Amino acid sequence: MIKGNFNSHAQNYDKYAQIQRRIASALIEKIPHNFKALRILEIGAGTGFISQELKQRFPKASILVCDPAPEMIKVASEKLGTEFDFQVCELPKTSHKFDIIISSMAIQWVRDWDSWMKDIANLANNKAIILVATPTAGTLEFLPQAFKKAQIEYKGLLYRMAEDLQKSAEQCLSQVNHSTHDFCENFNSSIEFFKKIHRIGANVEEKLSPGQLRKLIKECEKLKTHNILNARYQVTFLQAQNYD
Confidence (pLDDT) at 206: 61
pLDDT of 202 higher than 70:
no
Round the average pLDDT of the chain to a whole number and report it.
91
Q: Is residue 209 packed enough to be buried (19+ CB in 10 Å), middle (13-18) or exposed (0-12)?
A: exposed
Q: What would the mean pLDDT of 170-196 be, rounded to a whole number?
A: 95
**In angstroms, how far is the first alpha carbon of the chain from the final one?**
26
Confidence (pLDDT) at 148: 96
Q: What would the mean pLDDT of 43-47 be, rounded to a whole number?
A: 94
pLDDT band at 5 (very low <50, low <70, confident <90, very high): low
If you classify domain 6-139+157-185+232-242 with CATH, what class do you get? Answer: alpha beta
Confidence (pLDDT) at 91: 96
Rounded-to-integer distance, Cα 38 and Cα 62, Å: 6
Confidence (pLDDT) at 197: 82
Q: What would the mean pLDDT of 164-190 be, rounded to a whole number?
A: 96
Q: What predicted TM-score, i.e. pTM, was given to this entire model?
A: 0.93
Tell me the per-residue pLDDT of 135-173, one tens digit each, with 9 for 90 and over. 999 999 999 999 999 999 998 888 999 999 999 999 999
**Positive or negative CA dihedral for 43, 44, 46, 50?**
negative
pLDDT of 59 higher than 80:
yes
Confidence (pLDDT) at 201: 66
pLDDT of 175 higher than 50:
yes
Confidence (pLDDT) at 244: 73
Confidence (pLDDT) at 7: 54
Q: Is residue 210 packed enough to be buried (19+ CB in 10 Å), middle (13-18) or exposed (0-12)?
A: exposed
Tell me the per-residue pLDDT of 204-215, one tens digit each, with 9 for 90 and over. 556 788 899 999
pLDDT of 48 higher than 90:
yes
What is the b/e burial string over 190-201, where b = at least 16 CB atoms within 10 angstroms of the residue's CB? beebbebbbebb
Please state whether 185 falls in left (phi above 0), alpha (psi between -120 and 50) or beta. beta
Rounded-to-integer distance, Cα 110 and Cα 51, Å: 21
Q: Pick the residue with more confidence: 199 or 232?
A: 232
Every domain of the chain and the residues it spans:
6-139+157-185+232-242
User: Beta partners for 130?
Assistant: 101, 240
Q: What would the mean pLDDT of 192-201 be, rounded to a whole number?
A: 82
